[in-house]
Amino acid sequence: MKQELLDKIDEFAKDLQKVSSWPNTRNPFGDVGSGQDYYIFEFYCYVKVVHDLSIHQKVKLVRGAKGYIFPKGPAKKNEGWARFDIYNLQGQHLYQVCSGTDIALSKYPEVAFSPDISFQWADATDEPTEADVVLIMDAKYKKSGIDFGILKEMAEIVRSMEVESASNIELQFDKLPELKANCILTNGEVSRKHEGYCRLRRIRQIGRFGVGQNLVIAG
């Protein structure tokens, strides 16, 4: 069952690589303003992150009430979307890995953030708050580089979600160890001049996060 799941993830990742690249150059699409194109990149990031974790930890695809369907944007977790669960090699359930889940602030429930990828505790509820979240990632599909506005927005979410210690959680990546952090994932370029701000705010920029590209890390 485990190998079958990994094969499915790997096959899907390859399919996403094909549809998210120009056929002549194999470079990721630029920022063309299409919501569907954004979703392709966001879901590519989600699958790539989970697949890399599956090398050294156990990954389980969890069927939701809607079946094996993931949201294409911000969504209520209790609507029944699929997700992945992460276990250590001893079989202990560590985290839920959710896509686009709305996460409300316990003191201000009318305020919610929806990171593209959120690592939540194994026992996280179907109406999560910041108490359920341990690490967040956001995918930014950009032709150009990351600007300060994106970094500032991410910093506010990290502070509100209280995930400043995300780099200490029990995750073991394979080829992508830099992802053990609150990350902005982009096919574009990182902002070098704001690296100090990112370190202070516990954010890491992962640039050129596309097909066949060498990652660029900042922060």
**DSSP string for residues in 26-89:** -PBP-----HHHHHHHHHHHHHHHHHHHTTTSEEEEEPBTTBS---SSSB-GGGT--EEEEE-T
Nearest to 146 by CA among 196, 187, 100: 187
- What sign results for the dihedral spanned by CA atoms 128, 94, 46, 118? positive
Q: How confident is the model at residue 59 (pLDDT cuts 50, 70, 90)?
A: very high
Give 171-208 pLDDT, tens digit per residue. Answer: 999 999 999 999 999 999 999 999 999 999 999 999 99
pLDDT of residue 180: 97
Q: How confident is the model at residue 40 (pLDDT cuts 50, 70, 90)?
A: confident
H/E stretch holding 85 reads strand 83-87
Cβ neighbours of 203 (radius 10 Å): 27
- Cβ-contact 206, 179 below 8 angstroms: yes
Residue 3 is encoded by which pair of tokens? 């190998």
What mean pLDDT comes out for the span 45-73?
93
Q: What are phi and psi of 28, to 5 degrees?
A: -60, 155
Q: How confident is the model at residue 10 (pLDDT cuts 50, 70, 90)?
A: low
What mean pLDDT comes out for the span 55-73?
93
Cβ neighbours of 177 (radius 10 Å): 11
Give 120-155 pLDDT, tens digit per residue. Answer: 999 999 999 999 999 999 999 987 889 999 999 999
Q: Is the pLDDT of residue 35 over 70?
A: no
Per DSSP, the three-state class of 154 is helix
Per DSSP, the three-state class of 211 is coil
pLDDT of residue 218: 92
Q: Where are the domains of the chain?
A: 2-218
Q: How confident is the model at residue 34 (pLDDT cuts 50, 70, 90)?
A: very low
* Whole-number Å distance between alpha carbons of 9 and 48: 9
Q: Is the pLDDT of residue 27 over 80?
A: no
* Whole-number Å distance between alpha carbons of 62 and 162: 26
Mean pLDDT of the chain: 87
Distances (CA, A) of 10 to 5, 17, 45, 59, 213: 9, 11, 13, 13, 18
Strand-pair category, 117-121 with 112-113? unpaired
Q: Which residue has the higher pLDDT, 30 or 131?
A: 131
pLDDT of residue 13: 56
